Amino acid sequence: MIEGNAAPHVNDQPIFAAELTPYRSLGRRGFKILLMIAGAMSLVHILVFLVIGAWPIVFFFGLDFVLLFGAFWLNYHAGRAREEVSVSRTDVSVKKFAPSGRVTEHRFNTFWTRFSIKRHQEVGIISMMISGGGRQTDIGSFLNPDDRESFAAAFARALAAARSR
């Protein structure tokens, strides 16, 4: 779904472009290592309980492993979300990519675009919103507080630079 104004001018080069992605502390390799360690530990415990005759407990170790795998799978699936934000002299574009692959694009006229930030005294920026022409969209909702601060500063500078050209 494309919202907003017509496509930007062909010669209108972006002044600012950023790709926002959620932070994941454990990479794919680390995830595989974690699963191998958890699987080995579960297997050892399963064998011990089978040997002593407590076979019903085996199912709980299997369930724990499946739940651990499922939680990380959901986490990595949600990590595929991203946003591409660009600012040119005539256009502000926000493309949102959902984990499912669905893309939503929002376009705003640079001169009518408003960038609003909500802050919490202890946390810092808790939300960022772009609005203009009677429409609005949030951006960077999955970013950590430090990344929100740096993005907000860079985006605000780019928007001001685009307006002054």
Average pLDDT over residues 66-80: 90
**Helical pair 28-51 and 56-78, crossing angle rounded to 10 deg:** 170
State percent of the chain over pLDDT 90: 59
Answer for the pair 31, 76: CB distance below 8 angstroms, yes or no.
yes
State the Cα–Cα distance between residues 44 and 50, nearest whole angstrom: 10
Element (H, E) at 58: helix 56-78
pTM over 0.75: no
Segment 126-138, tens digit of pLDDT: 999 999 989 999 9
Segment 91-138, tens digit of pLDDT: 999 999 999 989 999 999 999 999 999 999 988 899 999 999 899 999
Beta strand 114-120 pairing with 135-139? unpaired
Segment 25-63, tens digit of pLDDT: 888 899 899 999 999 999 999 999 999 998 888 888 889
Residues 6+ apart with CB under 8 A from 12: 88, 89, 90, 91
Instruction: Kindly state the DSSP code that residue 6 receives in the 8-state scheme.
Output: P
Closest to 69 (Cα-Cα) out of 34, 27, 22: 34
Torsion of Cα atoms, 63 then 68 then 74 then 77, to 10°:
-130
State the Cα–Cα distance between residues 56 and 91, nearest whole angstrom: 63
